[in-house]
Structure 1
């Protein structure tokens, strides 16, 4: 009877019963059950608390249309079995429910968090969503009860969060709980990521009297007052913070080329270095996993370019071809991409790896305008968070600011965004950035760029805009309507 019911549901949702019983679905069910047991063992979930859901990975089906396996409610995580799982369509409809078990087991029930999970899948194009009940995530919000977000930086495990590294600042919005988890769906639009290690580290730093939200992890009394254990000192510190003038923007996002660095540095130094050294780099690192990943990305991009008839694209031979033939075709494509100033991830990632060698060998030095250091210091002292958004890879961004003509500037920067978040001329990219930064309103972010099309896209996402007018930049159209500056000192 249960099988017949499942078949009826699946046919109604356009999914055949055979696929519901396929290897892809079976392995995903097993994976979720195993994760539930593992999370219980680690102490990240307890008993029936928390939930894990995962998409059924199948290369033949677009990610947005893949089925979803979801752990049930009311089942001990350490006893979870593959057959206990719910199977949902990509839109959240239940295709297959677990069969009831005899008394004293409760009837099967899908988790109340299902709407939250579906919102996360929709917003983040995620492959899995994990909801834990770790006590650290609750305690860390109690350290500063009035705060609307959790911030931490310069901790090793930040690199486990996509798009973040050791020097970056992780911002996790704090959403007020309700009695019914399904009511939090709209609040989840704030989009938060969670890492138990970082929460636990913040708690331990707090216990040691250290500030987890600053790069140097200074004693908390430098930020909140001189006597940590008296209400008077805490109240005085809070009053001082309230009396201090607030900056007009909580975050500043900077472009690099033509904004923080001269265009000539990119066109006359970085691009030629990558073009002159691409063959040597590929030859010396050909068998490394990193370079093979670069080649895979380039191959996919070139195949797309060939289909669209992009000038300069030449076929890349199969892996059976000799190393010299393969590298020659790659070099030809990369040179054409550089000459056309293509803003594509495949090129930017490889360039970043080539430039890394140049910086390590002291053959390259990052060049920023004279006013950049002063502005970064001023913003940092004012509590304004500064981020970078460039078409260059995050690694190349770190290299430029970490090896600049004014020293290592990374201590003034909280994070980096590149084209993996989206094209810089598309509004969606700036929406994603505002979600990642955890601001209350997109207008809390000031974006500084020299490109009008980027400014228009960011403005459409609700960000504030300033156009950078630097020596060597191209002319701006008349009546563009944006404020302009010739130096960061003017901001």
Structure 2
């Protein structure tokens, strides 16, 4: 029986286009100014110390161009996005089916958690300033690449331990088959989100759903009213 839903964000709760066409360009355009304004900030200095090469800014821009899932980059992006979310220039995109299901599952006692390559700070900004309002109270856990990479089985074992939940009682939702493979290898239940608008291709290795209501029907979760 599923007691916890662990969800990815990009391609799962939110459109891939939102991340690639809104959040990434916003962070790239603000990067130089942000680093200049915060050059004496010890937190920023500590992040830059993790960036290899003689020119950290050039390395960061290269990572952005290649969509590298590097923790220092994701942490800086989260800090840059925070200003945009807090002053209203950014709102977290969610597919319309997502918030009603999250609310129904939470109301029924199903624990909710997030695992995304985006930083925990960025995750909280998206759900705290979403198009559906502040959804942070629905969640009991947030995990990013500091727990491990999403295509490694050990990451999901670590999340299950952190949540204090048997792996078999956790349902992981993602659009990426390789992430689902890793979760399944650690004993989690899985479901691949195959949203036509995102162009996701079904892998045929996991249960598949086109939206969150379909996840509920397929996996025995409470339906929305």
TM-score past 0.5 threshold: yes
Gaps of 5+ in 1: 1-247, 303-314, 317-328
Of residues 105, 127, 135, the one that matches 1:379 is 105
Which of 125, 134, 144 is equivalent to 1:418? Answer: 144
Q: Distance in 1 between matches of 2:35 and 2:208?
A: 42
For 2:14, which of 258, 261, 266 is the aligned residue?
261
CA distance in 1 between counterparts of 2:86 and 2:198 reads: 28
TM-score by length of 1: 0.43
Whether contact under 8 Å (2:6, 2:112) holds in the other structure is: yes
User: Counterparts of 1:362 and 1:332 in 2: how far apart (Å)?
Assistant: 29
The structure 2 residue matched to 1:466, chosen from 183, 186, 191, is 191
User: How big is the shift at 1:356?
Assistant: 0.8
Q: Which has the higher contact order (CA 8 A, sep 6+)?
A: 2
Within the alignment, does 1:353 sit opposite 2:79 as a pair? yes
Are 2:8 and 1:284 aligned?
no
Give the RMSD, CA atoms, in angstroms.
1.1
Alignment coverage as a number of residue pairs: 214
Q: Is the 8 A contact 1:263 1:473 kept in 2?
A: no
State the partner residue of 1:449. Answer: 174
SS for the counterpart of 1:378 is: helix
Q: Provide the C-alpha distance between the structure 2 equivalents of 1:291 and 1:434, rounded to a whole number of angstroms.
A: 31
CA contact (8 A) 2:4 2:169 kept: yes
- Mapping of residues 261-340 of structure 1, within 5 Å: 261-298=14-51, 302=52, 315-316=53-54, 329-340=55-66
Structure 2: gaps (5+ residues): 217-225
Q: Would the aligned equivalents of 1:253 and 1:387 in 2 still touch at CA under 8 Å?
A: yes
Which has the higher Rg, Structure 1 or Structure 2? 1
Segments ≥4 residues shifted beyond 2 Å? 473-477
Residues 174-193 of structure 1 deviation map (CA, whole Å, 9 limit, x = unaligned): xxxxxxxxxxxxxxxxxxxx
Q: CA deviation at 1:473?
A: 3.6
- Pairwise CA distance, 1:392: 0.5
Q: Which residue of 2 aligns with 1:363?
A: 89
Query: In 1, Cα distance between the equivalents of 2:105 and 2:38?
Result: 40
Output aligned runs, 1:242-253, within 5 Å.
Answer: 248-253=1-6
User: What is the TM-score when the length of structure 2 is the normalising length?
Assistant: 0.92
